[in-house]
């Protein structure tokens, strides 16, 4: 220690230069760091989508999902596979272990997809990987506004798909742009069954003919007068007229044109999603998806620039209107922490001024803040941590702590300067003062860094959320240690001056505040030192209070981050038609529009282009656009406004409504496949049994107090029209099953017969029967099938047609079917709710063999976190103890200091209880921070008490004198730490929900631990005092 301090003071210039270099480096790194709203907690996941239009869930599971799942089994680093087979869509989520490189994972999946493709029957779709993005990748949503009213939804969608999309995809950092809403343009060949009969043509013949009359070829070149002429033959149909004039067959030289058999017109593709706005119109919308690992703020910035450019080239009257941008959130989150940071700095400097009573020492201490922060930023750059709510939050938390080391040092210098003789060179005084406290400072700060160790071991979501915070705190503390050790002595020697002659040179009591405090403190501490048992009683009482209050606290995982965007999610009956769900959604939109704070509503129903959302059409996500918060009148907070909306929307017959937020929604879905806090999964084989038991479980759960939004997955409930081919009947006519099914597919579902090119834009030609020939079961029964001998047989003569209710979707995890019951918990902690729920299910629900229940959702994450902390915290305590021991060389001293911990915890617990907050991961992080802070004060005090004892001061006197002398630094470090957190405590900005419990715990804990340090420790020090004799012998 001595060596370091002496070396530092000898090389002051070198130290200053190095210090300036670190500052510059920090500033440079700051400019380079990516900025995000939150740490991205998405799992390492590769999604495989397969679109098979028109196929029912059972077939999707059998033909598509299963082969994909099988192919993915056994991949390295694989964690689990979850799949959803929906109507027309198979989604297989391949989860890899955390930290797996996403490009590596994609490559693995891609290799195996080749195998899967071979297993999937021809025409059943082609599995594709989802966008290279994460749950936070949906950075911007927009819709197209047409002020002229002259563009149809089909035209607008064409603008979206062929103009905007391709323009936006050129923006660096954008991986995908997905369109939804309106109609995708198609050329519809609407067949008249009677005409087919009249001219004796089959659907397949029509499709063949269209395909055969729509192509261009190249035929190399010919030479003509030394020149080459490229030969190309143009036969592409390019208009409705071209299609109409395709000759389907020729009867005695009389051509039969397609137009005689069908109506050819431009129409919309079959769609599984709609986008509506304000309850009055349908719109065309798009979603911009950010590439994995890119900087949100820059990508969004570039997208915005591009949107401006695109707006210029759009047809007059058409405009892109963004309605959701992550940028606002990013800005808000960064604002919250930055302003907390700045306010914290100001408060801390203010406190310094008061306690030091002079600018110079305050300045030395204040410089440690920017130094530590910039040092931390250099580290962030090195570790690849982005600027976000958590990482900057860590800095905000650390503000009060970063000054502690320097405070102790500067305070000691200040004190010594006041006491030192006039003739002693200033630099010697500084060296002496610094040497005295350097060792405890080193250990105290090391301990703070060490107590953050448990956070580094967190895994999964909680790890991704809180690790950046742990990093920045640890880095900032390291920075502050470096400052205290290497720069504080230098700066003290340069900046600090001896007090003027006129002042009382003996003590620091010339500062008014300190004088007053000491005056008040002396009788109290003398009292306690004399009646030690009272001090113990005080500590015990505090502990008891903590013990009483603790069980009253609820627990949750992480308080919900308010993203500032409210999404109202509507779930409708599973059998609903898109038309009906659109109608109902618009009714709800109109209700929401009545709220004065709402400026607009944009809703996505179902899914658009595959890649981001896989929702079925009975699910609608309503983005509620709000006025700026200053203009709100009916509500002040987002929570209140949600209640207002809840009230206004009221009961919607046939619709379940719940609130969520864009990022929360997406991330939750990626994590568990469900978007509620709690997910109960029932595994088993038979869909019917699964559904029945899931409903029972849902009923049991909903009766537990605190249950809200209980919902069993709607796996069944989709009506099906089941056409079963009668093999005997077809045998009589010599028809094959395939012949029948081909006609059913083309006639009822429609079949693509090539494409029409308009420049590079290409649009499908869809051949399908006119609605009157296919839209009722009866009409389907009348569809004619041609037998090999040319006669026509109605379908109902070859097959039975019945209406049944089938599954809506089939969910599987690790190749086993399961059903999810999701649930939110309101007004109580999830932990106890789960306990009660598990008991209730065991008692009331009778599960057949082979069926089992697992609990997931946020609850599972919390359990995992707890389990790990159970191991890590004792280890941390051990390390802390070892550090203490090596600092004091005394078991008793170490225990005395450790005594701070329980008392600090008491304060944290009580503070949580008073403020009505729950135990959660952020509050646990607060407790962890508290460990370190609480120990620091105790260390400073005990060190000095030991010193006094060694100097031969009697025990009682030493206790009082030590406490008196350390009053100023102890109070200063405690108050700066607490005040540094006050802005976080009071902030209502985005993200403050996560920081508040943490700040609450630390502030509360600081109060009790400071009380302990100042009142109890000096009093009971006697029992834990070092053995002076043995110490002396050692020295």
Partner 1 sequence: MLSNTLKNLIIVLGIGIGSLLLMSCGEQKAELATRAEAEEAHHDEAEEAHVEAVTLSPEVMEEFGIEVGTAGPGKVEIHLDLTGEIKIDPDRLAHIIPRFPGIVKEVRKKIGDEVKKGEVLAVIESNESLAPYEVKSLIDGVIIEMHLTRGEVINDNTHAFIVADLSYVWADLTVYQKDLPRVKIGQKAIISASPAPVTAEGRISYISPVVDEATRTAIARVVLPNYDRQWLPGMFITAKVIVDVINAPVVVPKTAIETYEDQTVVFVKTAEGFVPRPVELGRENDLYVEVLSGLEPGEAYVTKGGFTLKAELMKEAFSGGHGH
Ranges within 841-880 binding partner 1 (CB under 8 A): 862, 866, 869-870, 873-874, 877
Which residues between 793 and 832 bind partner 1 (CB under 8 A)? 793-794, 796-797, 803, 805, 828-832
Dihedrals φ, ψ of 382, to 5°? -65, -40
Which residues 240-279 are close enough to bind partner 1 by CB under 8 A?
Answer: none
Task: Give the nearer residue to partner 1 in terms of CB position, either 222 or 878.
Answer: 878
What are the structure tokens assigned to 114, written together?
A: 């080749």
What's CA 975's distance to the chain center, in Å? 34
CB proximity list for 367: less than 8 A, separation 6 or greater: 483, 487, 491
Longest dimension (CA), the chain: 128
Query: Whole-number minimum distance, CB 596 to partner 1, in Å?
Result: 20
Q: Does 1025 bind partner 1 (CB under 8 A)?
A: no
Contacting partner 1 (CB under 8 A), which of 32, 194, 816, 838? 194
Looking only at residues 596 through 625 of this chain, which bind partner 1 when binding is defined by CB under 8 A? none
Could you say which residues in the range 214-233 bind partner 1, by CB under 8 A?
none
Site string for partner 1, 279-318 (x = CB under 8 A): ----------------------------------------
Among 75, 511, 657, 994, binds partner 1 (CB under 8 A): 657
> What's the closest the beta carbon of residue 829 comes to partner 1, in angstroms?
5
- DSSP state letter for 319: E
Phi/psi of residue 574, each to 5°?
-65, -25
Alpha-carbon distances of 504 from 193, 501, 508, 509, 511, rounded to whole Å: 110, 8, 8, 8, 10
For residues 338 and 702, which CB has a smaller minimum distance to partner 1 in the complex? 702
Identify which range of 80-88, 280-288, 482-490, 698-706 contacts partner 1 by CB under 8 A: 698-706
Kindly tell me which residue out of 210, 470, 655, 740 binds partner 1, with binding defined by CB under 8 A. Answer: 655
Of 651, 843, 846, 951, the residue at the interface with partner 1 (CB under 8 A) is 651
As to burial, measured by CB atoms within 10 angstroms (0-12 exposed, 13-18 middle, 19+ buried), residue 335 is middle
Q: Of these, 597, 677, 709, 764, which contacts partner 1 (CB under 8 A)?
A: 709
Among 708, 731, 737, 842, binds partner 1 (CB under 8 A): 708
Task: With contacts defined by CB under 8 A, name the span among 88-96, 313-321, 889-897, 1026-1034 that binds partner 1.
Answer: 889-897
C-alpha 111/C-alpha 72 separation (Å) is 9
Beta carbon of residue 194, minimum distance to partner 1 (angstroms, whole number) = 6
Q: How far is the CB of 657 from partner 1 (least distance, A)?
A: 7
Shortest distance, position 270 Cβ to partner 1, whole Å: 21
- Binding segment for partner 1 (CB under 8 A), chosen from 128-136, 356-364, 702-710, 968-976, is 702-710
Nearest approach in angstroms of CB 919 to partner 1 is: 4
Could you tell me the smallest distance in angstroms from the CB atom of residue 643 to partner 1? 10
Could you give the 3-state DSSP secondary structure of residue 359? helix
Q: Is 319 in the site for partner 1 (CB under 8 A)?
A: no
What minimum distance in Å lies between the beta carbon of 811 and partner 1? 16
| Only segment of 40-48, 527-535, 693-701, 974-982 that touches partner 1 (CB under 8 A) | 693-701
Q: Which is nearer to partner 1, 527 or 881 (CB)?
A: 881
Structure tokens at 426: 């200033």
Please report where in the chains the tokens 């299910």 appear, as a residue: 841
Instruction: Check: CB of residue 50 under 8 Å from CB of residue 127.
Output: yes
What's the DSSP call for residue 677? S
| CA-only gyration radius of the chain, Å | 36
Q: Which of residues 345-384 bind partner 1 (CB under 8 A)?
A: none
Residues 83-142 interacting with partner 1 (rule: CB under 8 A): none
Q: Is 955 in the site for partner 1 (CB under 8 A)?
A: no
- Taking the alpha carbons of 748, 749, 754, 756 in that order, is the dihedral positive or negative? positive
Between 912 and 931, how does the x/- string for binding to partner 1 read (CB under 8 A)?
Answer: ------xxx---x--x---x
- Token pair for residue 118? 């071979």
Q: Which is nearer to partner 1, 339 or 457 (CB)?
A: 457
State in angstroms the smallest separation of the CB of 955 from partner 1.
17
Separation CA 990–CA 1003 (nearest Å): 21
- C-beta closer to partner 1: residue 488 or 572: 572
Which positions ≥6 away from 475 have C-beta within 8 Å?
375, 376, 379, 380
- The interface mask with partner 1, positions 767-796, x = CB under 8 A, is ---------x-x---x------x-xxxx-x
CB of 1034 to partner 1, least distance (A): 19
Rank residues 253 and 653 by Cβ distance to partner 1 and give the closer one.
653
Give the nearest distance from C-beta 580 to partner 1 in angstroms: 6
Task: Note whether 909 binds partner 1 by CB under 8 A.
Answer: yes
Closest contact distance (angstroms) between CB of 682 and partner 1 is 14
- 152 contacts: CB under 8 Å, gap ≥ 6: 183
Is residue 715 a contact partner of residue 819, using CB atoms and an 8 Å limit? yes
Q: Which of residues 198-217 bind partner 1 (CB under 8 A)?
A: 198
How far is 21 from 13, CA to CA, in rounded Å?
A: 12
Write down the least CB distance from residue 865 to partner 1, Å. 9
Supply the minimum distance, in Å, between the C-beta of residue 896 and partner 1. 9
Q: Does 635 bind partner 1 (CB under 8 A)?
A: no
Q: Three-class SS string for 947-979?
A: HHHHCCCCHHHHHHHHHHHHHHHHHHHHHHHHH
Choosing from 44, 661, 714, 1008, the residue that interacts with partner 1 (CB under 8 A) is 714
Residue 495 or 729 with smaller CB distance to partner 1: 729
Near partner 1 by CB under 8 A: residue from 656, 879, 982, 1028: 656
Q: How many CA atoms lie less than 13 Å away from 565 in the CB half-sphere?
A: 27
Structural contact between residues 643 and 547, judged by C-beta atoms closer than 8 angstroms: no
Residue 792 Cβ vs partner 1, minimum distance, rounded to whole Å:
8
The bridge status of strand 89-96 relative to strand 44-51 is antiparallel
Sequence-ordered list of residues with C-beta below 8 angstroms from that of 771, at least 6 positions apart, any chain: none
Three-state DSSP at 711 gives: strand
> Within 527-586, which residues bind partner 1 (CB under 8 A)?
550-556, 572-573, 576, 580, 583-584
Nearer to partner 1, 152 or 643 (CB): 643
**Residues in the chain, total:** 1035
Give the whole-angstrom CA distance, residue 909 versus residue 1005.
8
Tokens of 381: 């750059």
711, 959, 987, 992: which one binds partner 1 (CB under 8 A): 711
Q: Say if residue 314 is exposed, middle or buried (CB neighbours under 10 Å; 0-12, 13-18, 19+).
A: middle
Considering beta carbons, is residue 481 or 568 the nearer one to partner 1? 568
Pick between residue 291 and residue 898 the one whose CB is nearest to partner 1.
Answer: 898
Q: What are the angstrom distances between the C-alpha of 812 and each of 11, 66, 75, 691?
A: 67, 10, 18, 14
**Number of residues binding to partner 1, judged by CB under 8 A:** 83
In the three-class reduction of DSSP (H, G, I as helix; E, B as strand; rest coil), residue 1035 is classed as coil
Binding span for partner 1 by CB under 8 A among 71-79, 370-378, 676-684, 901-909: 901-909
The secondary structure of 753-804, three-state, reads EEEEEECCEEEEEEEEECHHHCCCHHHHHCCEEECCCCCEEEHHHCEEEEEE
3-state SS assignment for residue 836: helix
Helices (H), 621-686: 638-649, 662-672
């Amino acid at each position: 220690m001595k060596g370091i301090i002496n070396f530092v003071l000898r090389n002051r210039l070198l130290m200053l230069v190095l210090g300036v270099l670190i500052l510059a480096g920090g500033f440079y790194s700051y400019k380079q760091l990516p900025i995000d709203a939150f740490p991205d907690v998405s799992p390492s996941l590769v999604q495989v989508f397969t679109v098979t239009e028109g196929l029912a869930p059972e077939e999707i599971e059998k033909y598509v999902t299963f082969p994909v799942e099988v192919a993915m089994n056994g991949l390295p680093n694989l964690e689990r596979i979850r799949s959803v087979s929906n109507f027309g869509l198979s989604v297989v989520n391949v989860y890899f272990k955390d930290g797996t490189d996403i490009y590596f994972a994609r490559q693995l999946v891609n290799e195996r997809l080749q195998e899967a493709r071979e297993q999937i029957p021809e025409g059943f779709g082609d599995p594709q990987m989802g966008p290279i993005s994460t749950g936070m990748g949906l950075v911007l949503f927009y819709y197209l506004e047409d002020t002229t009213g002259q563009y149809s939804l089909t035209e607008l969608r064409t603008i979206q798909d062929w103009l905007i999309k391709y323009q936006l995809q050129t923006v660096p950092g954008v991986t995908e742009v997905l369109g939804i809403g309106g109609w995708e343009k198609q050329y519809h060949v609407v067949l008249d069954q009677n005409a087919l009969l009249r001219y004796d043509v089959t659907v397949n013949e029509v499709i063949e003919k269209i395909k055969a009359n729509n192509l261009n070829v190249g035929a190399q070149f010919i030479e003509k007068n030394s020149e080459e002429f490229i030969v190309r033959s143009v036969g592409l149909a390019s208009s409705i007229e071209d299609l109409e004039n395709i000759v389907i067959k020729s009867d005695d030289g009389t051509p039969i044109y397609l137009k005689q058999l069908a109506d050819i017109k431009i129409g919309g593709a079959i769609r599984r999603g709609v986008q509506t706005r304000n309850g009055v119109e349908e719109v065309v919308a798009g979603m911009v998806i950010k590439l994995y690992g890119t900087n949100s703020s820059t990508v969004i910035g570039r997208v915005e620039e591009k949107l401006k450019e695109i707006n210029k080239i759009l047809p007059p009257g058409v405009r892109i209107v963004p309605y959701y941008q992550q940028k606002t959130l990013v800005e808000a989150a960064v604002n919250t922490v930055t302003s907390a940071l700045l306010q914290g700095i100001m408060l801390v400097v203010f406190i310094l001024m008061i306690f030091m009573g002079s600018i110079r020492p305050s300045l030395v201490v204040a410089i440690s803040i920017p130094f530590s922060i910039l040092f931390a930023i250099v580290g962030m750059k090195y570790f690849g941590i982005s600027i976000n709510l958590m990482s900057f939050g860590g800095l905000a938390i650390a503000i009060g702590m970063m000054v502690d080391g320097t405070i102790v040092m500067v305070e000691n210098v200040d004190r010594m300067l006041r006491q030192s003789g006039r003739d002693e060179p200033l630099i010697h005084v500084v060296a002496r003062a610094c040497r005295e406290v350097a060792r405890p400072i080193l250990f105290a700060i090391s301990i703070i860094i060490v107590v953050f160790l448990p956070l580094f071991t967190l895994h999964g979501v909680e790890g991704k959320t809180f690790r950046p915070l742990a990093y920045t705190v640890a880095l900032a503390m390291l920075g502050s240690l470096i400052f205290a050790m290497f720069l504080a002595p230098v700066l003290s020697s340069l900046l600090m001056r001896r007090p003027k002659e006129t002042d009382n040179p003996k003590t620091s009591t010339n500062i008014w505040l300190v004088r007053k405090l000491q005056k008040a403190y002396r009788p109290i501490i003398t009292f306690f030192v004399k009646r030690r048992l009272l001090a113990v009683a005080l500590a015990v009482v505090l502990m008891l209070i903590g013990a009483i209050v603790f069980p009253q606290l609820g627990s949750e995982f992480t308080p919900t981050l308010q993203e500032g965007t409210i999404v109202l999610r509507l779930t409708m009956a599973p059998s609903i038609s898109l038309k009906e769900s659109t109608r109902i959604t618009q009714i709800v939109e109109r209700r929401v529009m009545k709220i004065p704070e709402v400026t607009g509503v944009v809703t996505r129903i179902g899914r658009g282009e595959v890649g981001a959302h896989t929702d079925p059409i009975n699910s609608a996500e309503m983005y509620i656009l709000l006025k700026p918060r200053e203009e709100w009148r009916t509500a002040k907070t987002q929570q209140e406004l949600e209640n207002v909306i809840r009230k206004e929307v009221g009961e919607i017959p046939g619709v379940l409504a719940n609130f969520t937020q864009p990022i929360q929604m997406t991330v939750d879905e990626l994590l568990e496949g469900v978007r509620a806090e709690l997910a109960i999964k029932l595994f088993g084989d038979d869909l019917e049994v699964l559904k029945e038991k899931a409903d029972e479980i849902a009923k049991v759960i909903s009766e537990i107090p605190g249950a809200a939004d209980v919902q069993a997955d709607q796996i069944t409930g989709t009506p099906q029209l089941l056409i079963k081919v009668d093999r005997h009947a077809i045998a009589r006519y010599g028809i094959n099953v395939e012949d029948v099914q081909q006609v059913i597919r083309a006639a009822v579902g429609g079949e693509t017969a090539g494409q029409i090119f308009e420049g590079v834009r290409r649009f499908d030609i869809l051949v399908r029967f006119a609605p009157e020939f296919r839209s009722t079961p009866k009409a389907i029964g009348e569809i004619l099938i041609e037998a090999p001998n040319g006669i026509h047989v109605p379908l109902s003569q070859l097959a039975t047609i019945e209406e049944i209710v089938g599954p809506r979707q089939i969910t599987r995890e690790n190749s086993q079917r399961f059903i999810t019951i999701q649930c939110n918990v309101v007004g109580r902690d999830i932990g106890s709710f789960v306990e009660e729920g598990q008991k209730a299910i065991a008692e009331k629900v009778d599960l057949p063999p082979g069926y089992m229940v697992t609990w997931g959702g946020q609850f599972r994450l919390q359990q995992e976190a707890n389990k790990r902390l159970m191991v890590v915290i004792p280890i941390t305590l051990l390390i802390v103890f070892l550090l203490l021991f090596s600092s004091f060389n005394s078991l008793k001293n170490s225990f005395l200091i450790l005594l701070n911990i329980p008392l600090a915890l008491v304060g944290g617990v009580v503070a949580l209880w008073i403020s009505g907050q729950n135990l959660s991961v952020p509050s646990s992080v607060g407790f962890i921070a508290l460990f370190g802070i609480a120990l620091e004060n105790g260390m400073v005090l005990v060190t000095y008490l030991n010193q006094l004892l060694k100097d031969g001061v009697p025990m009682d006197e030493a206790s009082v004198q030590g406490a008196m002398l350390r009053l100023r630094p102890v109070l200063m470090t405690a108050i700066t730490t607490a005040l540094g957190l006050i802005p976080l405590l009071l902030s209502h900005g985005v993200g403050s929900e996560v920081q508040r419990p943490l700040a609450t715990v630390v502030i509360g804990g600081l109060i009790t631990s400071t009380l302990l340090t100042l009142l109890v420790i000096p009093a009971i020090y006697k029992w834990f005092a070092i053995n002076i004799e043995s110490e002396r012998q050692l020295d």
